[in-house]
Amino acid sequence: MLDIFHNEPEIRTFAPGDYLFRQGEDPVHHMFAILEGHVEIDRDGRVLAELKPTDLVGEMALIDAQPRSASAKALTAVRAAVVTEKRFLFLVQQHPSFSLAMLRMLTQRLRANLES
């Protein structure tokens, strides 16, 4: 799934310790596709996951327009593609394989949360 994000017009870089976003922030109209590096997801100080290249982060606030449910912090130097809401909706509508990959990712994360 990652290869479709390498040519996004906006790429952001984050140094170790930088936040991609913080829990409770108002929703914005983008998510990130991690191209390089590792990102820690935590909620109320509890580490929920460590994400790596090929993972998406910030999709929940993009989908449901609610404040960020967790914080995302760069553990290493991170390069991430900014995926706008418009681009996300295009991919969901025009690329069934993307939609299926998103469903699988969300299901895996939900399962991991339920098992922890």
Annotate 81-104 with DSSP letters as a single string.
EEEEHHHHHHHHHH-HHHHHHHHH
**Residue 47: strand pairing partners:** 42
39-43 and 71-74 strand pairing: antiparallel
pLDDT at residue number 74:
99
> What would be the CATH architecture of the domain defined by 2-115?
Sandwich (2.60)
- Residue written as token pair 């404040």: 67
pLDDT at residue number 1:
56
pTM of the predicted structure, to 2 decimals? 0.86
Angstrom distances, CA of residue 59 to CA of 24, 25, 32, 109: 14, 14, 8, 12
Which tokens hold the place of 92?
A: 């969901």
Q: In order along the chain (116 residues), what is the average pLDDT of each group of 10 residues?
A: 75 98 89 96 93 92 88 98 93 89 86 77
Which tokens hold the place of 52?
A: 């790596």
Query: For residues 61 and 63, what is the distance between their CA atoms, to the nearest angstrom?
Result: 5
